Amino acid sequence: MEQQNLPLRAAELRLETLRVFEARGFGHVGGAMSVVETLAVLYNGVMRVRPGQPDWPERDRLVCSKGHAGPAIYAALAARGFFGRELLKTLNRPGTTLPSHCDMNKTPGVDMTTGSLGQGVSTAVGLALGQKMRSQDAKTYLIIGDGECDEGQVWEGLMLAAHKKLDNLTVFCDKNGQQLDGYVKNVLDTGDLADKFRAFGFFTQSVDGHDTAAIETAVQAAQTEGAASRCPSMIVLNTKKGYGCAFAEDQEFNHHIAFTPEQMSEALAAAQKRLEEVSA
């Protein structure tokens, strides 16, 4: 992996993601903000991509199955140079190439259309299997949510990944404890997800999902120990939904929310302060 100041990259990405939402006035703030650190790690030293050649056949793939986190994905893609930052202000507007949910047919750098929860697991498994069949030295990364794990399709896909020994597949489970209808434990308690993933045949780790160093270390372990065991890897990210955004944190229903200009100004000021702290 390239040597990167990952806390700085994450702080920049959080600020840019907030600006994406600021331009629209509402959106899927909670689930986008909880995966910022993971995206900072993936797009700064982990994933092999070519911004000038987004369809490069040998590239690593990312499937964000929780497609409503699209605004954070777009901010990360713009930071890597897949398209100009000015496009970020067009989020979910008529004629935009940046829809609310990720769409591979519209956005350079997006590898799979997502949004119907559960289906991203199947498509990511298919991509990883295809890489194996073509003997490519490439990897597939997948982001799912803990609420999404209510879907049976998730577990069918994970079983197939383990059965096919897809050691080129690394999955991140954003365990923020919330979903559209409230807290996961109240909607459909998924229990100890790490134990379940391990039982399904994954090399499984649990980390602080807002600690870039911990995420980076877990990815490195996935690429060595997971590969040595010839099994796919799972990294459970213990996160807070809406992390770093005061008006979204600690709200039960923060899946898709509107906010006032004053609330966003406070969030931007806090993100700017964090950026200055890690830049010092």
Mind listing the domains of the chain with CATH numbers?
A: 6-279 (3.40.50.970)
Contact (Cβ atoms closer than 8 angstroms) between residue 256 and residue 31? no
Per DSSP, the residues of the chain read: -----HHHHHHHHHHHHHHHHHHHSEE-HHHHHTTHHHHHHIIIIIS---TT-TT-TT--EEEESSGGGHHHHHHHHHHHTSS-GGGGGGTTSTT-S--SS--TTTSTT--S---STTHHHHHHHHHHHHHHHTT-S--EEEEEETGGGGSHHHHHHHHHHHHTT-TTEEEEEEE-SEETTEEHHHHH----HHHHHHHTT-EEEEEETT-HHHHHHHHHHIIIIIHHTTS-EEEEEE--TTTT-TTTTT-SS-SSEE--HHHHHHHHHHHHHHHHHHH-
Residue 3 has pLDDT above 80, yes or no: no
Measure the CA–CA gap between 209 and 172, rounded to whole angstroms. 9
Measure the CA–CA gap between 90 and 86, rounded to whole angstroms. 8
Contact (Cβ atoms closer than 8 angstroms) between residue 111 and residue 61? yes
Upper half-sphere CA count for residue 91 (Cβ side, 13 Å): 29
For position 1, what pLDDT does the model report? 44
* Integer CA distances (angstroms), 113 to 30, 70, 174, 188, in order: 20, 10, 19, 26
Question: Who's near 242: CB < 8 A, 6+ residues apart?
Answer: 29, 30, 33, 34, 248, 249, 250, 251, 254
What's the whole-number mean pLDDT along residues 234-240? 97
For position 183, what pLDDT does the model report? 92
Rounded percentage of the chain residues whose pLDDT exceeds 70: 99
What's the whole-number mean pLDDT along residues 190-210? 97
What's the whole-number mean pLDDT along residues 194-200? 97
Tens digit of pLDDT for each residue in 49-107?
999 999 999 999 999 999 999 999 999 999 999 999 999 999 999 999 999 899 999 99
Compute the mean pLDDT over every residue in the chain, rounded to the nearest whole number. Answer: 94
pTM over 0.75: yes
Contact (Cβ atoms closer than 8 angstroms) between residue 70 and residue 106? no
Tens digit of pLDDT for each residue in 121-162?
999 999 999 999 999 999 999 999 999 999 999 999 999 999
Rounded percentage of the chain residues whose pLDDT exceeds 90: 88
What's the whole-number mean pLDDT along residues 172-191? 93
Q: How confident is the model at residue 226 (pLDDT cuts 50, 70, 90)?
A: confident
Q: How confident is the model at residue 24 (pLDDT cuts 50, 70, 90)?
A: confident
